[in-house]
Amino acid sequence: MVGEEAQSMRGMLPVHHPIQHGIITDWDDMEKIWHYIFHNELRVAPEEHPVLLTEPPLNPKEDRERMTQIMFETFKVPALYLANKAVLGLFTSGRTTGMVLISGGGATHAVPVYEGYPLPHADTSVNLGGEDMTVYMAHLLEERGYRFTTFAEHDVVRDIKEKLCYVAPNFAAEMLLERSIRSYELPSGDVITIGHERYRCPEALFTNDRLSNKTVHESIYASIMKCDVDIQNELFANIVLSGGSTMFPGFADRLNEEVNNLVSPFTRVRVIAPPERKYSTWHGGSILASLPSFPRWWISKEEYEESGPSIVHRMCF
């Protein structure tokens, strides 16, 4: 079972995700999902349509080649392009140069982009994504006596996180207040109260602890400082958020303050938070694919047959 059918059975059967921390770990299942998307969701014949696939920053070389091979040899697509998610997130904001903080379900990356091209030598990753924070939220609620153990209950915790969590302007000051208590009705009809967990959960993105190897603001600063000095000011002034884990209320303001604390008073810091950033990768892909000049970027079937999967490294940056 794949897609909605699998989700509908999550209370009775384990649900397997072929992507872990942004990287494909089960290629057989990933192929099944692609097949499901083509034939059940899009209802198109893949051999009749060029395909734009997104890929995470620092996608392993062998994974890029395997994605290319599956699309051409299994699905027989006529043309293909692999696009970096961070670049697409930047396009959504109407920019081609900027510092992209992309934080989704599996991972968080700080990626500088210059004139539409990512700078991989300066990419800085944070080993924390939305799914990690959902697990952390479940742990915080367990400390209060609430237990969420099944796959269906995991989805409930995710819903609590997405609807009730926020980033505190000042974590220490927030801990002294009692204003953050909210009620949440479970599918069973029971009502639970959520208090300091609402801001303790996303605080993990801004604090070095057992969950994360570094903070998001430190990652942005480190990434920009690896770039040419001539573009650093432009990057600090164009920090663009992308991905669902940047949607917490208060996230952009806190990030702006934290980055400002790391730079000189003469450096302008600006954080851009597009309202649609949860889906900015998709929006950016639609923008890219609609450009009149884009067809010349496709890897054609003929080019693939001539050069093999390695052509992806020459054609897709």
Residue range 27-80, pLDDT digits in tens? 999 999 999 999 999 999 999 999 999 999 999 999 999 999 999 999 999 999
Is 144 within a domain? yes
The CATH number linked to 24 is 3.30.420.40
Is 274 found in the same domain as 155?
no
Is 46 within a domain? yes
Boundary residue ending a domain (148, 183, 204): 204
Residue range 150-179, pLDDT digits in tens? 888 899 999 999 999 999 999 988 888 767
Is 209 within a domain? no
Is the predicted pLDDT of residue 299 greater than 80, yes or no?
yes
Is 63 found in the same domain as 15?
yes
CA 314 to chain centre: 25
Residue range 1-39, pLDDT digits in tens? 776 776 666 666 777 789 988 899 999 999 999 999 999
Is 192 found in the same domain as 264?
no
Q: Give the domain extent around 156.
A: 130-204
Is 195 found in the same domain as 144?
yes
Percent of the chain topping pLDDT 90: 84
Is 158 found in the same domain as 107?
no
205-209 long-range CB contacts below 8 Å, 24 or more apart? 205/103, 205/108, 205/126, 205/128, 205/133, 205/167, 205/245, 205/251, 206/167, 206/171, 206/254, 206/258, 207/171
Is 99 within a domain? yes
The CATH number linked to 187 is 3.90.640.10
Boundary residue ending a domain (204, 232, 262): 204
Is 232 found in the same domain as 113?
yes
What integer pLDDT is reported at residue 117 of this predicted model? 94
What integer pLDDT is reported at residue 7 of this predicted model? 67
Instruction: Tell me how far apart the 2 most distant CA atoms of the chain are, in Å.
Output: 66
Is 58 found in the same domain as 13?
yes
What integer pLDDT is reported at residue 10 of this predicted model? 64
Is the predicted pLDDT of residue 82 greater than 90, yes or no?
yes
Residue range 176-220, pLDDT digits in tens? 876 778 999 999 999 999 999 999 999 999 998 766 678 999 999
Selection from 270, 136, 243, 260 nearest residue 200 by Cα: 136
CA atoms within 13 A on the CB side of 249: 9
Is 111 found in the same domain as 13?
no
Is 253 within a domain? yes
Boundary residue ending a domain (149, 182, 204): 204
Average pLDDT, the chain: 93
Is 241 found in the same domain as 100?
yes
Is 75 found in the same domain as 22?
yes
Is 96 found in the same domain as 72?
no
Is 247 found in the same domain as 102?
yes
What integer pLDDT is reported at residue 270 of this predicted model? 98
CB 2 within 8 A of CB 36: yes
What integer pLDDT is reported at residue 6 of this predicted model? 67
Residue range 103-126, pLDDT digits in tens? 999 899 999 999 999 999 999 999
Pairing of strands 191-194, 239-242: unpaired
What integer pLDDT is reported at residue 175 of this predicted model? 84
How many domains in the chain?
3
